[in-house]
Amino acid sequence: MTDPRLPDHKGQAEPEAANPRQCSHDTQNGEDHGPHSTPGILRCSFFEHAKDRMGRPFVGDVAALRGILRKTYTPRPGNPGGTPKQSMPALNAAFYRAGAPRGVDNVLGVFLLILDFDNSRPEPTGEFWPNPRTGEPSNRPKTVKVRIDEPVTMAEVVAQLRCAGVAFIAWTTWSSTPEHEKSRVVVFLAHAVPGVLWERAAAWAVAHLGLDQFRRGLDLPVLNNAAALAFLAGSPDPESIQRAEGEGDLLSIPLLDLQTTAAPVLEPWEAAVVAERQAERARGEKWFQAYRVNGRPVDFQALDLVALLDRHGVKVGRSRAFKDGTKTRVWCPWASEHSNHRDGDDAVVIHTPGTWPSFRCEHSGHRFMGLRDLIEWAWGTP
């Protein structure tokens, strides 16, 4: 099964297939390319460093993409992305409209399944993020990433992917050490997955490829974020980088079935907040009735949420036409809670005539937050 063309393969042992049962796959890959794809042609994006918002689109076949991913890269002088690692060029699994910056809301489609085995998990610290305006503790716990006890190795993931018969390329990442390996795997897709279906598609793919056994090591927020950056291979010690590749089929994700799959699972504490709010609604309690202007209910339809954020010192972008209304990229008021602290302007406000404005931030821990949270942030909890 070893590909004779493997470059820079550091003599990694071929592991035994972990579980022969999982090799009896019945994939039907590569038969349905979808209506909008050219068979074998992938589209994704490259970025110069972590702070680069406008990517360079890639359109090409797997061989061309492999050629880019096989190289070893070094940080840019002056660390324009922040840290040396963040100054590295990065791949993003998605493609965008011409001129659209990287961001979940601008994703047209996703052509790569990028699996980051960072082998760590978020652990609550017992502290909660303070409300940035009042300093009061919020309902969002602070977490720290701690190493998991049984790191997933690249070798075992590679063995499983060879079993599954899909085309992929893998490498160990910047902070990988022999004792605590960290790796990134790129699986090439046969056709694009629309951005809105990405979380479900990723969950399907992980299960279908027999990788559920390795979920403990996966960075799931990154997996679920179609706009996430994946730094290309590089290391303070480039000689230490381990690589592997597999020939095989392009993975074909059945989009029609996905639409009936259950929505992705929230973190337990997020689910608790959502459940509490559902219970409030079931009891007939309406959070918005507590807010009054001159004794009268607030006219939320007329509320300019972008202006409200602006007044409170939050950076807002230019509003663009979106359906009947407007969409505006805004800084998330809680951006300091984001795991990378940098993608602050990933949030959006949408105004649609005749309805209340909406707010959305795709960062993990903020996915349940909306208009209510912004109002509580701006006007306080009544």
Binding site for Zn ion (CB under 5 A): 332, 361, 363, 366
User: Cβ(65)–Cβ(188) under 8 Å?
Assistant: yes
Structural tokens at position 218: 């996966």
Q: How far is the CB of 310 from Zn ion (least distance, A)?
A: 17
185 versus 332: smaller Cβ distance to Zn ion? 332
Min CB(219)–Zn ion separation in Å: 17
Smallest distance from Zn ion to CB 128, Å:
15
CB of 86 to Zn ion, least distance (A): 19
Q: Give the chain's end-to-end CA distance (angstroms, integer).
A: 64
Of 195 and 234, the one with the shorter C-beta distance to Zn ion is 195
Question: Is the CB of 232 or the CB of 371 nearer to Zn ion?
Answer: 371
> How is 107-173 classified by DSSP, letter by letter?
EEEEEEEEEEE--EEEEEEEEEEEPTTT--EEEEEEEEEEE-SSPPPHHHHHHHHHHHTB-EEEEE-
Nearest to Zn ion of 200, 366 (CB atom): 366
Nearer to Zn ion, 243 or 338 (CB): 338
Nearer to Zn ion, 332 or 350 (CB): 332
Q: How far apart are CA 159 and CA 246, in angstroms?
A: 9
Nearest distance in Å: CB 134, Zn ion: 18
Smallest distance from Zn ion to CB 372, Å: 15
Contacts of residue 83, defined as CB under 8 A and 6 or more positions apart, other chains included, come to: none
Q: Strand ranges (DSSP E) for 180-252?
A: 183-193, 230-231, 243-246
Q: Hey, what are 256's tokens?
A: 């029609």
Which residues, at least 6 apart from 65, have a Cβ–Cβ distance to it below 8 Å?
42, 44, 58, 188
